[in-house]
């Protein structure tokens, strides 16, 4: 089904446009209007990597947005679905999603839904799978932790792309090499075991400070090892990490570092289940300990 390119809302007409044609300051204002922390630079990063649409009013003002981020040929995440508060009761979110879904008809999909958006996504046949905890705060000096025996911790560089992309694919379930390429200029650490990268993490500017993610590891000890230096480098600063880890050593470490749970979102999927298939995998299989972001997965 092809979604309508225009829509009458509250006595005025809106139209759909490519998100790359939208004014960056207006996108920033849109996210501020719903209490989201995205800076203009965060929007630009999303536009350079992903695709999306905006809803414009008759004066050309941005009243809504929706983006998607393709990973390989068969999967994509959806995010930055925002409607101006005055339009949220007029079906604008559903209209924007219709345009997104029309572009992604043959892909399996995943997203992270706020409480306010869950009903919308359920109506579009998305199924809840897991809860993501948004852990954030002023970072405390992390406790001393020895890296696991037989491993080495070092900064990542461009020569590591193939290795971390392979590890991430195993954990995430789709090819994110293009995203990792864009993240490599950011601060990253890899944990090597027997000469092979067994875990990695990135930390980059985002929102009110910095965000740690993605983080991929096969166990809590490896995951802690690759994030500890990020926390140490940003002690006293605002830091965020989004994780599905509800308990255990990794979750406890975050609490000790001042990163308490601020809010939660719900991971949902449409098509093939996204996360549940990996829950039955054997111990020692790499998994995503921290998201790259709510929109990026």
Q: For 133-163, what is each residue's pLDDT tens digit?
A: 999 999 999 999 999 999 999 999 999 999 9
For residue 14, name the pLDDT band (cuts at 50, 70, 90): confident
Statement to judge: residues 67 and 153 lie in one domain? no
CATH at 159: 3.40.630.30
Domain that residue 98 falls in: 6-106
Statement to judge: residues 97 and 138 lie in one domain? no
49 occurs within a structural domain: yes
pLDDT digit string (tens) for 275-284?
865 666 777 8
59 occurs within a structural domain: yes
Q: Given this model, what pLDDT does residue 152 score?
A: 97
121 occurs within a structural domain: no
138 occurs within a structural domain: yes
Among 109, 108, 126, residue whose Cα is nearest residue 117: 126
118 occurs within a structural domain: no
Q: Given this model, what pLDDT does residue 90 score?
A: 67
Q: Given this model, what pLDDT does residue 23 score?
A: 96
User: Does residue 9 register a pLDDT over 70?
Assistant: no
Among 296, 295, 268, 233, residue whose Cα is nearest residue 81: 295
Max Cα distance, the chain (Å): 67
128 occurs within a structural domain: no
Please give the average per-residue pLDDT across 116-141, as a whole number. Answer: 96
Q: Given this model, what pLDDT does residue 224 score?
A: 98
For residue 1, name the pLDDT band (cuts at 50, 70, 90): very low
Q: What percent of the chain has pLDDT over 90?
A: 85
Q: Given this model, what pLDDT does residue 283 score?
A: 76
126 occurs within a structural domain: no
Number of domains within the chain = 2
Please give the average per-residue pLDDT across 157-174, as a whole number. Answer: 96
User: Does residue 7 register a pLDDT over 70?
Assistant: no
pLDDT digit string (tens) for 16-32?
999 999 999 999 999 99
Q: Given this model, what pLDDT does residue 157 score?
A: 95
Residue 69 contacts residue 180 (beta carbons within 8 Å): no
pLDDT digit string (tens) for 207-239?
999 999 999 999 999 999 999 999 999 999 999
Statement to judge: residues 49 and 164 lie in one domain? no
Average predicted confidence (pLDDT) for the chain: 93
């Amino acid at each position: 089904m092809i979604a309508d390119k225009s829509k009458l809302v509250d006595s005025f007409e809106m139209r759909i446009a490519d998100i790359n044609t939208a004014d960056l300051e207006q996108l920033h204002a849109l996210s501020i209007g719903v209490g989201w922390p995205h800076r203009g630079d965060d929007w630009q990063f999303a536009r350079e990597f992903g695709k999306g649409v905006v809803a414009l009013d008759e004066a050309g003002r941005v009243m809504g947005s929706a983006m998607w981020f393709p990973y390989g040929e068969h999967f994509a995440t959806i995010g930055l679905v925002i409607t101006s508060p005055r339009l949220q009761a007029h079906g604008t979110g559903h209209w924007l999603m219709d345009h997104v879904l029309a572009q992604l008809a043959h892909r399996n999909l995943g997203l992270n839904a706020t409480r306010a958006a869950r009903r919308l996504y359920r109506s579009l046949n998305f199924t809840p799978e897991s809860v993501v905890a948004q852990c954030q705060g002023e970072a405390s000096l992390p406790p001393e932790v020895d890296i696991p025996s037989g491993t080495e911790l070092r900064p990542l560089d461009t020569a590591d792309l193939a290795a971390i992309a392979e590890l991430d694919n195993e954990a995430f379930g789709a090819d994110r090499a293009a995203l990792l390429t864009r993240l490599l200029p950011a601060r990253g650490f890899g944990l090597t075991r027997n000469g092979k990268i067994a875990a990695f993490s990135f930390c980059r500017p985002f929102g009110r400070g910095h965000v740690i993610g993605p983080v991929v590891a096969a166990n809590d000890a490896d995951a802690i090892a690759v994030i500890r230096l990020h926390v140490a480098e940003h002690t006293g600063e605002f830091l965020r990490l989004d994780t599905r880890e509800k308990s255990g050593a990794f979750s406890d470490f975050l609490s000790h570092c001042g990163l308490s749970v601020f809010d939660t979102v719900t991971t949902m999927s449409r098509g093939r289940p996204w996360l549940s298939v990996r829950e039955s995998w054997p111990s020692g299989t790499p998994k995503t300990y921290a998201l790259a972001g709510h929109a990026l997965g």
